[in-house]
């Protein structure tokens, strides 16, 4: 039975003939996805994207003889198209994929993920990523504060508002994001002060890529950005990202000293880790001293948790539709009355630290 009346049109960009054939055969098993082109290099891919106007592109950014990140930047600048990065699971592949997500790729998939033929899963995870990507509608969004491909660490200096009359320091900041979230985090955290309050993040992403995402963000944002570890204290000037494995990320402790908690469990709101679980824990432990921020993403994860935060008196912020890659999660929170502020991604940091917000 068809899931949609109109098939999702996909262009594959992959230098390996074997992998191109595997991808094409994989998609042919789906009745709502059709491969309209398969390119062996960036030049062919660019031509196919221009001529065929696909709904989604799958891209191997590790192709020899080309800079996949440069190619992706050209796609996003000249003909914005939802791109799923299909990469190897090596360290280099993960690092490149993380940078691609910061540039604007909307999803990622490791070739060795799952366990089906040639590393592709039998449960259709890649096909589901294609379906989610096909729902993305691009708008003009602010550029990241620094290119995510920059190899050096910038000076860690504060970029937050400095007018003392406007500053009200939160005890803790909690952030949830999904599709398009790495790019949004690049903008948001790039505007955080170097000595920001402890900040905790659930970004929906595979555990294979989460550490590389943290390293990529750490290269261009003032605070230290690391992967969360169980039972360690949450420190000023640090941003902690959920590992993306089968553990929920929560906050424990009491006022003056909060701790990272990681616990195994079942998916909540369709996700493990779940933004809702994180937000509910922050509402319970931190309450009115917290700030909750819900960014771009598919679905509703985080909406109920943001409402719980709002009900404690915490400041709650949702990314607006115009700058969201996918407005699902913020829209759900707004519909519940959970968002005290709805703002473009480029101004959310100001709202997080400003009494006037």
**Catalytic residue chosen out of the listed positions 171, 301, 320, 354:** 301
- Residue 44 neighbours by CB under 8 Å, 6+ apart: 13
205: Cα within 13 Å, side-chain hemisphere? 33
Residue-wise over 87-122: b if at least 16 C-beta within 10 A, else e? bbbeeebbbbbbbbbbbbbbbbbbbebbeeeebbbe
Catalytic residue at 152?
A: no
DSSP-derived secondary structure for 146-194:
S-TT--SPPP----S---GGGB---SEEEEEE-TTHHHHHHHHHHTS-T
**Catalytic residue chosen out of the listed positions 87, 134, 171, 178:** 178
Phi, psi of 133 (to 5 degrees): -65, -35
The span from the CA of 252 to the CA of 139, in Å, is 38
Strands (E), the chain: 8-13, 33-39, 56-59, 83-87, 107-110, 172-177, 199-203, 224-227, 238-241, 247-254, 257-264, 290-294, 315-319, 341-343
Catalytic residue at 117?
A: no
Catalytic residue at 238?
A: no
**Catalytic residue chosen out of the listed positions 55, 60, 87, 204:** 204
Instruction: Report the catalytic residues.
Output: 178, 204, 301
């Amino acid at each position: 039975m068809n899931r949609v009346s109109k098939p999702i049109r996909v262009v594959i960009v992959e230098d390996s003939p074997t992998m191109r054939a595997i991808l094409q055969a994989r998609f042919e098993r789906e009745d709502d996805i059709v491969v309209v082109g398969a390119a062996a290099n960036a030049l062919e891919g660019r031509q196919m994207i221009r001529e065929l106007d696909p709904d989604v592109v799958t891209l191997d950014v590790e192709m020899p003889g080309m800079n996949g990140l440069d190619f992706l930047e050209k796609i996003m600048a000249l003909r914005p198209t939802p791109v799923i990065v299909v990469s190897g699971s090596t360290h280099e592949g993960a690092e490149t994929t993380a940078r691609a997500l910061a540039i604007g790729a909307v999803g990622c998939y490791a070739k060795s993920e799952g366990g089906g033929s040639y590393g592709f899963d039998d449960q259709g995870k890649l096909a589901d990523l294609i379906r989610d990507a096909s729902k993305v509608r691009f708008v003009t969004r602010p550029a990241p504060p620094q290119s995510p491909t920059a190899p050096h660490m910038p000076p860690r200096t504060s970029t937050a508002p400095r007018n003392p009359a406007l500053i009200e320091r939160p005890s803790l900041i909690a952030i949830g994001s999904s599709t398009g979230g790495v790019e949004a985090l690049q903008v948001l955290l790039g505007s955080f002060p170097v000595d920001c309050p402890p900040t905790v993040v659930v970004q929906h992403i595979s555990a294979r890529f989460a550490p590389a995402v943290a390293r990529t963000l750490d290269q261009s944002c003032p605070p230290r950005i690391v992967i969360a570890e169980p039972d360690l204290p949450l420190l000023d000037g640090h941003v902690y990202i959920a590992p993306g494995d089968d553990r929920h990320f929560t906050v424990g402790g009491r006022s003056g000293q909060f701790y990272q908690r990681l616990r195994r469990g079942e998916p909540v709101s369709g996700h493990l880790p779940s933004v809702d679980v994180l937000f509910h824990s922050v509402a319970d432990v931190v309450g009115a001293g917290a700030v909750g921020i819900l960014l771009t993403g598919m679905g509703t994860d985080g909406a109920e948790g943001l409402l719980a935060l709002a009900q404690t008196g915490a400041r709650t912020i949702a990314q607006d539709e115009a700058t969201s890659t996918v407005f699902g999660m913020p829209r759900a929170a707004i519909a519940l009355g959970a968002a005290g502020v709805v703002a473009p991604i480029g101004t959310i940091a100001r709202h997080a630290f400003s009494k006037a917000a």
